[in-house]
Amino acid sequence: MISPSISIGPLTLHLYGLIIALSIYFGWLLAKKRANFYKIPQKLFDDPVLVLPLALSVIAARLYHVLDYWDYYTQNPQLIIKISQGGLGIWGGLIGAFIGIWLIAKIKKLNLLSLLDLAAPSLLLGQAIGRFGNYINQEGFGPPTTLPWGVYISYQNRPAQFLNSDRFHPTFFYEAAIDAAFVFILLKLSKRFKKPGSTFAVYLILYSIGRFTIEFFRIDTATIGTIKVAQVLSAIAFIVGVLMLLSKKNRG
């Protein structure tokens, strides 16, 4: 088990925050390297307007998480804005990022579909890196397992029904591996697409398939009855991706 924070004199470094920062940086770096392919000006990457998708994704991701655990946060409202211990819902983050990218397209008069195509591999890369934050904070794991790669979860972080189990499926690593593979696939395919929006459409399709599958191993996500909310959102995103891919329109 890795300590979630490191103290350096009077400063405390939260590893979760560091991992999120690294995911943002490497996603930004990948997008900057690919920008010319989509005729996106390099100066955009030094523009403060890029704060929009970042800020909105964090806010929306936190809101998604708070709604997911609404009963807990109504009892502990002071913890709503405290994200150093984790608690960012990826679907909320993606919605916030999309709104931010849409605003950038409007403000800078850029093609929205081209921006989404540019952002898609970076989003996947950021998601792959960010999943390691779940390991640091011991969240987002699966059910107990006796498999050799099961990860140790401390007593206080175990679900009530599994207090006597100490090793669980590392679903965060499963998803990180799947996302990393999808990044490679998406980068290869993006060079062949001619129609704007195709790369983003395939991103929605691939990620939705991966997330829908991983949800079968998750034990901590929101449900409506017996239906997992994340799987419903995955199905919707998959359909949107397919429709975008089949659409004959090239407008942004």
What gap in Å lies between CA 208 and CA 243, rounded to an integer?
A: 14
What gap in Å lies between CA 51 and CA 57, rounded to an integer?
A: 10
What gap in Å lies between CA 42 and CA 171, rounded to an integer?
A: 37
Q: How far is CA 221 from the centre of its chain?
A: 14
What gap in Å lies between CA 158 and CA 139, rounded to an integer?
A: 9
What gap in Å lies between CA 36 and CA 24, rounded to an integer?
A: 20
Contacts for 144-150 with beta carbons within 8 Å, 24 or more apart? 144/168, 144/169, 145/169, 149/173
**Tokens describing residue 94:** 């993606």
Token pair 């100066």: residue: 43
Q: What angle do CA 138, 79, 8 make, to 5 degrees?
A: 60
Residue 97's nearest CA partner among 22, 204, 180, 184 is: 204
Annotated ligand binding at 158? The verdict is no
- Give the residue ranges of the annotated binding site: 131
